[in-house]
Structure 1
Amino acid sequence: MSKPNYGGMDWIKFGAALMVVANHTSPLLSYSAAADFLISNLFTRIAVPIFFMTAGFLFFRKLTGDPITDRNALHGYMLKTLKLYTAALLIYFPLNIYTGYFSESFTTYSLIKDILFDGTFYHLWYLPALILGLYITFYMYQKMTMKAMLASAGLLYIVGLLGDSYYGMLQNGSGIVHVYEGMFTVFDYTRNGLFYAPIYLAIGAWAAKRQIPERKPLVNAALFAVSLGMMFVEGELLHSAGIPRHDSMYIFALPATYFLFQWSLQWKVRSNKTFREWRVWVYILHPLAIVLVRGAAEVTHSEKLFILNSLLHFAAVCLVSIGMAAATVWLLAISRKFQTSRFKRLFVNS
């Protein structure tokens, strides 16, 4: 049996990493605020859902149904993610100091809250969200039917929507607002592992474990385009009404992400392990790339090119992020080879 080709999935994940860069750099802002809003504030909002959905698909397709084997798979995945999260926390510790993270408002409680939910740097919330979300989804997967799991994850997503892009709709229901205000003392946003991640992970699990009627690639592409267009309309209407508290979660992000994911499974493209690892490090390192690009532009007096020109700024940050990601992956590969050869010398050849 031939090995499944998930090259298309790897490419949309790499594209999603660049979408996150766009979200944090506003590439079209110096040309058109309206166009930049569509790209930076709406289109990029399917990036993290892509990460969650593909993670759910790849993790749950490996589960065998044996409780011990499946729990071991979960613990192995979590250990790997925790190591990555720890590395990211350490990488950004110097920038935390530089940006005043450890100011008078810093407390032990705020640190615990950030590590568990919000991240100690603005993009690091994704990793604890993946950890918590996968634990929740794995529990539901073991205890519920597939439909019940999707329904439960959907209810959590609705709670999250009302604390995010639909928050303004709660203002007339003062009792519910107080509940959310209480939740926001525990975490800053509902786009976290409790409310945001489970539905996308659950859809990924459902896609991995159920035989889905196959549509033509053009149909999936069209459904993605229609869903994305509806998400643009949804976002424009919500923002024009001043409803969002934050703007990470949208209803139509669900079908847009799903149909793009299904479409990517039909792409006849190739990738490799190195390319997959680049995507991870582009996501983790891009805020550092933003700092480096801005710093270099100021030192070389090229602010007009690489800071004020938003598109060139975005392109420069992408290139620096990819370069740093490639260097990191290369260094990690050398480190693994060194550790393997050292192990052989110490134990195999002794």
Structure 2
Amino acid sequence: MPTPQKIASFEFARVIALIAIISIHCQLFMDYGFINEEPWLNYITNQLARFAVPVFFLIAGYLIYPKLNDQPYQTAKSYGLPLMLIWVVWSIICLVSPFNLGIVAEHGYLAERQGYWNYLMQNPINTLFEGGLVHLWFIPSLALAVLMIAWFVDNRCRSLLLPFAAIFYIYGLMAGSYQVVTGVETPIFTRNGPFFSFLMVSIGFEARRRNWSMTSAQALALALVGMAMHFAEAYFLHGQGQIFNMNDFLLGTALWGAGLFFWLLRNPNFGGHKIWLTLAKWVLPIYVVHLLITIYMNNVAGIVGVSTISRDTIVFFGTIIGSGVLVYLLEKTPFSFANLRQIKLTRRRVTCRET
């Protein structure tokens, strides 16, 4: 049965996932909701939003399957290079944009920027995988995951795809959130690179290739089990010294994301209103620009001298509205995200050895 180009439930989920990510980066509820002198309201809401990135990766893997299966390297190139151009352009913008306006006013632009540049150069390898601002890690990680899948497809060893992706994921956990237990070290933060993205994109890819499906009840059960595992792991690791809200992915996160993904797949018309389909077109641009707007909204909150709920309101809604306005204005210029993603790449003849 042919799959429609736009699956309404996927588009709806992408918008909700973006809002969840913005809530993480706005650091909501950090000044109140304390239990035993720890901001547990932030801890809980922060980790509740951790479904978002896995869902992004899973959807990407599912949607790219037909082209990636037929023309693996050509698809990886045509998909990844425009994304990487966006990453380069916005890394440069973030590198030159001052974050702390107070320091700029008191000590000058270069004094403010040099502190940040020196911070990035403390670990240049990690910065290479991340970019000019921390949230931009998502783009090279996605492009790298697609390229790695292309290698497995081109070499006719797709049966090894998920096992190898799982190995990357487990290593990422051991050197990431579980590092406080394992002592395993790595030169880059394991949220970056392929450690997180490879498995998630591969599951989406394989779900379409193998025509995997679940009932709505089974998918929700999987999601709930995964979420429960994620929170149990986070609580255990918190006692070992890994702060509760610092977990990007855990063992349960993959199950949590997969359960939500299969529920969306089972209910393709969910969220089918045209408003969600329209907003979904803005997800990538708003994701790219939003953290810079969040930084400036924090500056505004500091200048007006607000905290707690007032600060959260300014930063959260200011980020959403400000990012939307900025993207809207950018789309009217030659530097729009649409133009960057429509780069014409030289086509090469590709012979596919596997169907």
Shorter-chain TM-score bucket reads: 0.7 to 0.9
Q: Are the counterparts in 2 of residues 136 and 198 from structure 1 also a CA contact under 8 Å?
A: yes
SS in 1 for 2:237: helix
SS in 2 for 1:212: coil
For residues 275-330 of structure 1, the C-alpha deviation after alignment (integer angstroms, 9 at most, x for no partner) is 2331112211112211332333345x252477x64355323322322332333345
The 5 A counterparts of 1:219-238 are 219-238=218-237
Structure 1 residues not aligned, in runs of 5+: 172-176, 341-350
- Distance between the aligned counterparts of 1:123 and 1:58, measured in 2? 23
Residue 138 of structure 1 pairs with residue 150 of structure 2:
yes
Residue 123 of structure 1 pairs with residue 135 of structure 2:
yes
SS in 2 for 1:100: helix
- Distance between the aligned counterparts of 1:25 and 1:276, measured in 2? 21
SS in 1 for 2:135: coil
SS in 1 for 2:81: helix
Letter in 1 for 2:21: V
Shift of 1:239: 1.1
Shift of 1:28: 2.6
Distance change (3 Å), C-alpha of 1:293 and 1:206: same
For residues 9-40 of structure 1, the C-alpha deviation after alignment (integer angstroms, 9 at most, x for no partner) is 11212222222211122223334221210111
Distance change (3 Å), C-alpha of 1:218 and 1:321: farther
Letter in 2 for 1:73: T
Shift of 1:250: 0.3
Shift of 1:163: 0.7
Match of 1:45 among 38, 42, 50: 50
Letter in 1 for 2:56: F
Distance change (3 Å), C-alpha of 1:8 and 1:160: same
Aligned length: 317
Shift of 1:3: 2.9
Task: Show the counterpart of 2:29.
Answer: 28
CA RMSD of aligned residues (A): 3.1
Task: Show the counterpart of 1:160.
Answer: 172
TM-score (norm 2): 0.78
Q: Are the counterparts in 2 of residues 30 and 310 from structure 1 also a CA contact under 8 Å?
A: no
Shift of 1:117: 1.1
Shift of 1:251: 0.3
Shift of 1:81: 0.9
Task: Show the counterpart of 1:6.
Answer: 7
TM-score (norm 1): 0.79
Q: Are the counterparts in 1 of residues 17 and 55 from structure 2 also a CA contact under 8 Å?
A: yes
Letter in 2 for 1:20: I
Task: Show the counterpart of 1:100.
Answer: 114
Shift of 1:333: 9.7
SS in 1 for 2:68: coil
Letter in 1 for 2:67: K
- Distance between the aligned counterparts of 2:92 and 2:257, measured in 1? 32
Q: Are the counterparts in 2 of residues 57 and 204 from structure 1 also a CA contact under 8 Å?
A: yes
- Distance between the aligned counterparts of 2:211 and 2:316, measured in 1? 40
Distance change (3 Å), C-alpha of 1:316 and 1:147: same
Shift of 1:70: 3.3
Task: Show the counterpart of 1:315.
Answer: 317
- In percent, how many aligned pairs have the same letter? 21
Shift of 1:75: 1.1
Structure 2 residues not aligned, in runs of 5+: 34-38, 99-109, 343-355
Q: Are the counterparts in 2 of residues 167 and 244 from structure 1 also a CA contact under 8 Å?
A: no
Task: Show the counterpart of 2:345.
Answer: none
Q: Are the counterparts in 1 of residues 176 and 190 from structure 2 also a CA contact under 8 Å?
A: yes
